[in-house]
Amino acid sequence: MDIKKVIREVPDFPKPGILFYDITTLLANPKAYKEVLDRFTERYRNRSIDAVVAIESRGFIFGGALADRLGCSFVPVRKPGKLPWKTRSVSYQLEYGKDTLCIHEDALDGKKNVLIFDDLLATGGTAAAVAQLVKGLGAKIAEIAFVVELTFLNGREKIKDYDVFSLVEYDA
């Protein structure tokens, strides 16, 4: 199945000149959603993944299902104030400002081989921040995975120290 054909392209969203790649059409298509999960499951099935660390919020949609299929833990990374226990946080620069992400301090206790997962790789700042959190908790990052990568934004540069996999790439 050509996953690109299932992802809707929305021009001028969220502002003029931006072409938005909308995965809600992929999520609404049970065969396409299953295909995406099947491909990621096949890739990581024999990699001894202890935890899938998924990034709020669309990363959760795939990350939880993938963790279930791999028989490992699911660890959410969220915005401040959303996790109820003791957390570690990291702040990072966005194009026009700053953002912060948090993880429970004990989320990776005993988990050594971690897959970081999100729906989209754009500039790489979010993934780099999550990698910093995971490394700070003492885990090894097996790979950082995405459903979609916007290669023209060069996001891999910020996470070049890690193996990166994207299911679908857009060059412009």
| 54 domain-assigned | yes
Average pLDDT, integer, range 55-64: 97
The answer to whether position 127 is within a domain reads yes
**Of 120, 128, 169, nearest in space to 145 by CA:** 120
Asked, for residue 58, whether it belongs to a domain, the answer is: yes
Residue 10 included in any domain: no
pLDDT digits (tens, 9 = 90+) for 15-30: 999 999 999 999 999 9
Q: Whole domain around residue 137: which residue ranges?
A: 47-170
Q: What is the pLDDT of residue 97?
A: 82
Among residues 58, 69, 88, 156, the one annotated as catalytic is 58
Which CATH number goes with the domain that contains 95?
A: 3.40.50.2020
Give yes or no for residue 96 having a pLDDT over 80: no
Give the number of domains in the chain.
1
77 is a domain residue:
yes
Q: What percent of the chain has pLDDT over 90?
A: 95
Tokens of 124: 């790489």
Burial (CB count <10 Å: 0-12, 13-18, 19+), residue 105: middle
- Give 72-78 contacts, CB < 8 A, sequence gap 24+: 72/111, 73/111, 75/51, 75/103, 75/104, 75/107, 75/108, 75/111, 75/114, 76/103, 77/53, 77/101, 77/102, 77/103, 77/130, 77/133, 78/102, 78/103
Q: Is 95 a catalytic residue?
A: yes
Structural domain contains residue 87: yes
Q: Is residue 96 part of a domain?
A: yes
User: Residue 77: which of 170, 139, 163 has the closest Cα?
Assistant: 139
Determine contact, residues 158/127, Cβ cutoff 8 Å.
yes
Active site annotation includes 143: no
**pLDDT the model gives residue 94:** 80
Check: pTM over 0.85? Answer yes or no: yes
Say if 24 falls within a structural domain: no
